[in-house]
Structure 1
Amino acid sequence: MTTNLSPASLPQLNPPSPRLKVIIFTVILHLAVLLAFLPSNFSWAAVGVAVLLHWMTIGLGIAFGFHRLATHRSLQVPKWLEYFLILCGTLALQGGVFGWVGYHRVHHLHSDEQGDPHTPNEGFWWSHIGWLMHTVPARPELPRMTKDIADDQFYRFCHRYYIELQVALGVVLYLLGGWSFVVWGIFVRLFVGIHSTMFVNSVCHTIGYRNHDSGDRSTNCWWVALLTFGEGWHNNHHAFQYSARHGLQWWEIDMTWMTIRLLQFLGLATNVKLPQK
C-alpha cells in the first residue's frame, strides 16, 4: 500500500448521511462512563481489570493485530496467535475488522487529501470521531481494500459478531466481579480505548513533531504513543508504513515493538519488516 505524496487541500464534502446507530452508541457510552463516579462502582480490582483489558484490546488487539499485522503485514505470526490478536482487537469495539483495516488502508492511500475518510482538513472533530458518525465516501472501497482477508472464516466471524462478543465479555465480567467490573472493564475501558485510537487520527495529524517528510501532515506525539502502545509515532509510521517498529528514536517508547521483539526472540514472529536506511 503506497501513499500519494502530493498533498492537496480537500474541498468541503457533500454532507454525508448520519449513522444513527453509531451516534446512539456514542451518546450511551459517554453517559455510561459517568457510572464510574459512583463509589459503589469503584474497586481497585475493577481498575486493574480495565487496565489489563486496555492493554489486551488496544495494545495487542488494535496496535499489533489490526494495524501492524492485518493492515500492513509488517510481520508474520502463527495463525493461532494471529487469530488471538484479531479477537483482542475485535473486543476494542471499534467496528468490524474489515472496516477498520479497509478504512486505514484508504487513509494511507489518500492521506490528508480528498478521499481520506478522516482527513483533518475537515476539522479536528471530524478527524477524531465525527467521520464515524456518517457514511463516508470511502465506504464503497472497503471490499477492494480487504480482499486479502475477506475469505478468512475467523476474520468473518469476528467482523460479523463483534457486538455479541462484547456482550459476552460483559457477562463474564459481571459474573467475575459484579457491576464494578462491567463499568470499568467495559464502559471506562471502551471510552479510553476509542478516544486513544482516535487521537492518532486527529492529534497526530495536527500537533507534534516530524522526523520525516512523509508528504502529509502526520506528526509524532509522545502522550498519544503512551496511550496507544506506540501508535502515536505516526509521522514515523507514515514515512515507513511497512515497518513493524514505529518508535525509531531511542526516546520514542514503542510498547508494541517491544512485544514483537519478545515474540521474535521466542520464534513466534518472523519476516519482521523494518525501515531500510
Structure 2
Amino acid sequence: MRFNSSPTLPENPYPLRLSWSTVAFFATIHALALLSPWFFSWPALGVTLLLHWLFGSIGVCLGYHRLLSHRSFKVPRWLEYAIAILGALSLQGGPIFWVAGHRLHHAHTEDEYKDPYSARRGFWWSHILWIFYPRPEFFDYERYQRFAPDLARDPFYRWLNRYFPLLQIPVAFLLYTLGGWSFVIYGVFLRTVILWHTTWFINSVTHMWGYRSFASNDNSRNLWWAAILTYGEGWHNNHHAYPHVAKCGWRWWEIDMTWWAIRLLKTVGLAKDVNLPPAQTMKVGDL
C-alpha cells in the first residue's frame, strides 16, 4: 500500500508563533534530565540504555517508522498495537501525529513549507524549532489526521494518539518501585531527552552530512554515527531512495539493528510481506 500527501497543503505558510507552553514542557524535561549526575547508579544507566533501545528501536524505528508510516512489512494486529504502545512511550507524539508528519516529510522532502521539519530551513529548525513553532497543518488533529487515514479510522490509534502522555505514569511508578528516584530520573527523563535528540538527528544531520549511495531528489545522506545512535535509521539516503523497503542498511557494514529485529520477527513467522531492496541494486553478500 502506498500513501500520498493528498489533500494538498497551502503554498504560503502561516506566520510563525512561538508556543511558550511547548518550550516550557521541553525545558522542564531537559532540566529534570540534568539531575542525573546526582542520582547516578550503574543499574539506572542500564535502564536508560534498555528503554532507549526498546522505545527507540522497537517502538519508533520499527513501529512508528517502518511498520506504520511505510507499511514495509506486516505483523498480527495484536503485535502491531503492542509495538505502537512502545512507540508512544518514546514521548514523541501519538501514532497518527508521528505517521502523518513523516509521510508529509517524504511527500515534500525539504520543501520549506510542506515538509514539517525541512532541513532547508537550517539545522535547528529541522532538529527542534519546528516543534516550538507549531503550524496548524502539522499539529492540529483535524488537519494532520488526513495524512494518516488508515490509522485515524482505528479507535485504538485515536485513543493512543490522544492519551499517549499518560503512559509515562505507570512506567514511572514501575521504575520507582524497582529502583527509586534514580530509576525514574534515568528511565524517564534522561532516556526521553537522549531519545528525542537521537531521533531528531535523522531530521537534521542526515540531511546535511554523510555520503549518498543513490541520486534521490533531496539531500538525504548516509551517516554512520547517526545510524549507530538510531539503530539503523541513519542510512537515510538509502531510505529516501526506497522508503518502503524494511531494510535501511543495505551493505554489510551498514549496521541496522532495527532490521535485525524485523528479520527475527520474520524468522519466527510474526512478520510477513517484508519489502526487501530491489535485487538489481544489491551486490552479493550485502543482504
Distance 1:2 1:65 in 2: 17
Structure 2 residue 54 is the aligned partner of structure 1 residue 52: no
| Offset, 1:82 | 0.7
Q: 1:152-191, aligned counterparts within 5 Å?
A: 152-191=154-193
Distance 1:204 1:2 in 2: 23
Distance 1:174 1:2 in 2: 42
Q: 1:71-110, aligned counterparts within 5 Å?
A: 71-110=69-108
| TM-score between the two structures when normalised by the length of structure 2 | 0.89
Post-superposition Cα deviations, 1:158-209, rounded to whole Å, max 9, x if no partner, equal 2111111112211211121100000100111001100000000000001111
Runs of 4+ in 1 over 4 A off after TM superposition: 1-4, 11-14
Task: Provide the aligned C-alpha RMSD in A.
Answer: 1.7
Distance 2:254 2:154 in 1: 35
Distance 1:98 1:133 in 2: 19
CA contact (8 A) 1:3 1:111 kept: no
Amino acid at match of 1:120: A
State which of 239, 263, 266 in structure 1 corresponds to 2:268: 266
Amino acid at match of 1:71: S
Distance 2:70 2:88 in 1: 17
Distance 1:2 1:63 in 2: 19
| Offset, 1:137 | 5.5
Could you list the runs of 5+ residues in structure 1 that have no partner in the other structure?
A: 5-10
CA contact (8 A) 1:117 1:137 kept: no
Distance 1:12 1:176 in 2: 51
Distance 2:50 2:12 in 1: 41
| Offset, 1:34 | 1.3
* Equivalent residue number for residue 36 of structure 2: 36
| Offset, 1:134 | 1.5
Amino acid at match of 2:115: D
* Equivalent residue number for residue 70 of structure 1: 68
| TM-score between the two structures when normalised by the length of structure 1 | 0.93
CA contact (8 A) 2:4 2:103 kept: no
Distance 2:124 2:259 in 1: 30
Distance 1:186 1:112 in 2: 32
Amino acid at match of 1:136: R
How many residues end up aligned between the 2 structures?
269
Amino acid at match of 1:122: R
Post-superposition Cα deviations, 1:48-79, rounded to whole Å, max 9, x if no partner, equal 11111111100000000000000000000011
Could you list the runs of 5+ residues in structure 2 that have no partner in the other structure?
A: 6-10, 281-287
CA contact (8 A) 1:2 1:108 kept: no
Structure 2 residue 131 is the aligned partner of structure 1 residue 129: no
Distance 1:212 1:12 in 2: 31
